[in-house]
Amino acid sequence: MAVIEQLIRAESDGTISFGNYELPEKKKLENFQHNGNILKVKTYKDITKLESNENFVYESVPGTAVTGFKETENGVEFKVEGDSDAQITLGLLENTEYSVFIGGNSIGKMTTNLGGKLNLSVELSGNGLVDVRVEK
């Protein structure tokens, strides 16, 4: 299991890891500083949510654990794990088309809405860590 006991942590490669889907009750950690940004995470078995500088970045229902989360000007990439399949919403650039890869396989192109949100489903049950990459 790859749950993040401290809720969020900075990794030596410059990425972040966050989320604990094993928690029975909601926990949050605010004011976590990373690369000049102020991060806030809320997580437990039902939801995991990440904000950066009060802007939406990531949400999963039910809760997940995310490792190696990296944002670039072209998109995001991370590994995700959970007890069951998850609906993931990412905060990206509005009205932008992205290529989406799950487990190394392309699932096609998706366009964000006016709010910049992109929704995808990830099959997690029994799969361990699953790679997700979203790029322009």
The encoded tokens of residue 20 equal 């604990």
The predicted pLDDT at position 57 comes to 98
Q: DSSP letters along the chain, please?
A: ----TTSEEE-TTS-EEE--TT-SS-EEEEEEEETTEEEEEEEETTEEEEEETTEEEEEEES--EEEEEEEETTEEEEEEE-SS-EEEEEE--TT-EEEEEETTEEEEEEE--TT-EEEEEE--TTT-SEEEEEE-
74: alpha, beta or left, given left = phi > 0 and alpha = psi -120 to 50?
Answer: alpha
In order along its 136 residues, the chain shows pLDDT tens digits of: 568 889 999 999 999 999 999 999 999 999 999 999 999 999 999 999 999 999 999 999 999 999 999 999 999 999 999 999 999 999 999 999 999 999 999 999 999 999 999 999 999 977 778 999 999 9
The predicted pLDDT at position 4 comes to 86
The predicted pLDDT at position 5 comes to 86
The predicted pLDDT at position 16 comes to 98
The predicted pLDDT at position 3 comes to 82
